[in-house]
Chains A and B, each alone.
Chain A
Amino acid sequence: MTAYVARRLLLLVPTLLALTVLAFLFVRALPGDAAVAILGPNASAESIERLRETLGLNLPLPQQYGEYLAGLLSGDLGTSAVSQRPIAGEIGARLPATIELSVAALLIGVPLGIALGRFSARRAGSAADATSTVVAVVAVSVPVFVLGLTLQYVFAVLLNWFPAIGRVTNSGAEERITGFVLLDAILSGRPDLLLDGLHHLVLPAVTLAAVPMAVTARIARAAYLAESRRPHVRIALAKGLAPAKVRRDHIAHNSWPPLVVVIGLQLGALLSGGIITENIFGWGGLGSLVVSSIRTRDYLVIQSGLLVLALIYVLVNMAVDVVNARIDPRLRSAR
């Protein structure tokens, strides 16, 4: 197991390098010039040229990339052209919000999806199965902005059950330690703030959970069905083991690995959906930062934002593989 983890970590190095290359090239492919973006359209040609030199934009691409990489390694992501703040700080400030929301959405969507998927699998072919399949498809086919705004209007405005926006009530009494609202509440021993944070989390997390819920349900159903048709399950049942025990010990256990993989892959969808969800619920995370940077042509922020999002994705998926390898030893040699 240790060797496996070590190998995975080693493989991470070329992956990360490739990520930086992609992010770097992606931004170079965008039209316009970072120097013009910083100085504005009225800047003189000389001052643009001077800034291009300062930023190293006049160097050949490989050399630019080298300097970019060197900066990365020393933790310097550059400065935002719009806010004039260091990008590392900008991203760091928004990251906790995005992570909190994504994790919450997974915690809601995945168990619900598994439950729904197993429910259909056990009744495969029945009307109940068809209904839950349709429910899952509906959940992915309503655009997230329609779902979010509707949930907000119904549950925050009409029913007033949940807050419409924000991560906390903004009473001015919150203490910022880690940037994670829930964690900060626990660290500062404030159960009231914890409840407040959870209360705020419900609507955006449910909005964002719709897609993972649906996808998980689909995979869970398929995995469960596939497992239940395998020989060892049939033998266990033939031996006279209680069906409930067989379901728990054999089918459920072995249907985990594909599920775990899907949960990892879901992260991409989560981070995408998060962009719009963050917008609607005043969440202020990383996704909305990248979107506003694309609009304002803030190239360095786009580059770093993309890099960080991709990094999260890669790391989580590596963790997924490791977890899976624990569950299913066969996978350790497979990759």
Chain B
Amino acid sequence: MQDRKSRPRGRLLVVAAVLSLALSACASADSNSQSQSSEPVDGGVFRLATVAEPAGLDPALVFDGDSYRINAQIYETLVTLAPGTTSEVVPALATSYTPNEDATEWTFQLREGVTFHDGTPFDAAAVKFNFDRWKNFPEALQSRAELYGTVFGGFGDAGILESVDVVDERTVGLRLSAPRPDLPITLTLPVFSIASPAALQEYGADEVDAASSEFANEHPVGTGPFVFDSWTHGDRVELVRNEDYWDEPAHLDRIVFKAISDAAARLNAVQAGDVDGADMINPRDVEAVTANSSLQLALRGSCNSGFVAFKSDQEPFDDPRVRQAVSHAINKEAIVDRFFGETGEPAWLLMPESIPFHDDSLENPEYDPDLARELLAEAGEPNPVVDFWYPTDVTRPWLPDSQGIFQAIAADLEAVGFQVTPRSATWTAYLQDSKTPAYGLFLLGWSCDYGAADNFYGGAFGYIDSAPNPRYQYTSDEFVAALETAQVAPEDQREAAWAQVQRIVYDDLPVVPFVHGSSSLAFSTRVHGYEPNPVLVEHLDDVWLSD
């Protein structure tokens, strides 16, 4: 997520794989992680302290976690992720779908009896309207709707989405000019939420010049279990229950999302009872939460990695021995222990074990300062002088304490001979500037959009317009070939193909992963049924409050 803007565009999948992913019947989300002892109670206001305000409530145009979670209550996608998973696709507005043999034509069967919050019906025409809207975004909006471009390889006719056809009122066909066997999981992305065509038009969702779309601020209209009520800018967003929801209506009367950026203040707020839940608890405070009998903790699990990144084309990092030295110099266990505790695992691959096709045979390079020193000596660089960058004002599941983690890694590097000059910048500037050569050595991470190997390896290191990602300058024909093979490999060869991709990156070390981190939430014990998800698509219709 943090790195989304660097997503490669226009990389297409070339060969087809026959898919028969007929969906099972509607999987009802009823896996209650907190307490299953009592019967859910209806009613009540659920107040959640979030890190930031949403960027906007037009789901097609935003990609921050706080917008994701609010939009996931107001809108629905054709298919979605099963509660708590990152890769299990389950039906939502579509009850089933069927691809043709080469995965270029997809037919979606739509759910009956669904209406938008404004009373207009949800049907094939509405789905077509939304897809056409995304496809034909004016240029000014395209950079804000980047994920569409990534999935379909570009906007308008530059992309692979040829046409969207209304077969009948309940059936929609998507016709692609190239195969996309993994289309279903990409359609779980919140950017593919179906909004009310009437509201989109009435409230000027695409008027770029006015730019302040009324739709995204005052009138977001979807089909979800909650209806938008109000947004007090700088303070909170409120939603109320959708009484006419097509499925069981939600338990809660109302949800209040309240933005508090200071982590200590969020925990104070939930402990004082001013909110019922607080997001992104500092790992150091996890123990305080679990030890407190009036609080409970929910861990999201990890779908990310934090790493030390290089510009692989720059001295001294163009020498693989220097990168290996870094990999052996960092005491990952100690860092994870100190800064993540129970919320992190040491990492050596880009993706955590829970992601399909993770290669378990690759092992963590040993922490060995002596070996690191030897490698530096062999490389003829016993004391490389380096600028080492870190971001200052950001909290991520893989970076809960950027200054602390930076200092620990810098100390490890200096212990083996590096001479580190600390450099820092604020997050927005950091993301933009880390693509420039000034950032030879820097801290970064990758958070997934959905749990798939391609989302990690293709996303981070895939070529953009046949050039390596400027952030890492990782140039490897071998890697690109292996990646392209894996993306379209038939089912029985996928595991081997993705293992090959992981092996190449593991050997080349364009980045040195050190952690798979997990963010966590603290709730008062009144809260039940909140299913945390590392991709932050969290449906709150099963949340209920006791007493």
Contact = CB atoms under 8 A, between A and B. Distances in A.
Judged by CB atoms under 8 Å, the answer to whether A and B touch is yes
Interface of A: 32, 36, 39-43, 47, 51, 79, 82-86, 89-90, 93-94, 97, 149, 152-153, 156-157, 160, 163-167, 169-172, 176, 279-282, 284-285, 288-289, 295-297
B272 A164 contact: yes
B199 interface: no
Given A42-B5, A51-B140, A289-B234, A166 B274 contact: yes
A153 B428 contact: no
Given A166-B258, A171-B45, A176 B143 contact: no
A162 to B, nearest CB: 8
A284 B232 contact: yes
B271 interface: yes
Contact of A85 (B217, B236, B240): B217
Contacts of A86: 212
Nearest to B275: A165
Contact of B212 (A84, A157, A297): A84
B213 interface: yes
Interface in B211-257: 211-213, 216-217, 229-230, 232-236, 238, 240, 253-254, 256
A94 B211 CA distance: 20
A83 B56 contact: yes
A157 B272 contact: yes
B260 interface: yes
Contacts of B217: 85
B268 A279 contact: no
Nearest to B146: A42
Nearest to A298: B428
Given A164-B269, A280-B265, A288-B234, A84 B49 contact: no
A275 B152 CA distance: 43
A47 B139 contact: yes
DSSP majority for the B interface? mixed
A332 to B, nearest CB: 41
B287 interface: no
Interface of B: 5-6, 9, 45, 47, 49, 55-56, 139-140, 143-144, 146, 211-213, 216-217, 229-230, 232-236, 238, 240, 253-254, 256, 258-262, 264-265, 268-269, 271-275, 393, 426-429, 431-432, 435
A170 B236 contact: yes
B264 A149 contact: yes
A163 B272 contact: yes
Given A94-B233, A165-B268, A279-B261, A84 B274 contact: no
B55 A83 contact: yes
Contacts of A79: 211-212
Given A83-B55, A170-B47, 11 more contacts: A47-B139, A84-B211, A84-B212, A85-B211, A90-B234, A156-B269, A165-B274, A170-B236, A172-B254, A284-B233, A284-B236
A149 B9 CA distance: 44
Contacts of A153: 264, 268
B61 to A, nearest CB: 8
Nearest to A288: B234
20 contacts: A42-B143, A43-B143, A79-B212, A84-B56, A93-B233, A97-B234, A149-B264, A163-B272, A164-B272, A165-B274, A170-B47, A171-B45, A172-B45, A172-B253, A176-B230, A282-B235, A284-B234, A285-B234, A295-B429, A297-B428
Given A93-B232, A164-B274, A170-B45, A40 B143 contact: yes
Contacts of B213: 84
Contact of A47 (B140, B254, B260): B140
B233 A280 contact: no
A295 B233 contact: no
B110 to A, nearest CB: 31
A84 B55 CA distance: 9
Contact of A157 (B143, B211, B271): B271
A332 B6 CA distance: 62
A88 B217 CA distance: 14
B426 A163 contact: no
B234 A152 contact: no
Contacts of A170: 45, 47, 236, 238, 256, 258
Contacts of B240: 172
9 A-B pairs with the lowest CB-CB distances in the bound complex, closest first = A284-B234, A284-B235, A282-B260, A164-B272, A156-B272, A93-B233, A85-B212, A94-B234, A165-B269
Contacts of B269: 156, 164-166, 282
Contacts of B230: 176
Given A42-B146, A97-B234, A160-B272, A281 B211 contact: no
A148 to B, nearest CB: 8
A282 B259 contact: yes
A141 to B, nearest CB: 21
Contacts of B259: 282, 284
B146 A295 contact: no
Nearest to B256: A170
Nearest to A297: B428
A168 B21 CA distance: 49
Given A165-B260, A170-B256, A97 B235 contact: yes
A90 B211 CA distance: 13
B236 to A, nearest CB: 7
Nearest to B240: A172
Contacts of B427: 295
A93 to B, nearest CB: 4
B65 to A, nearest CB: 16
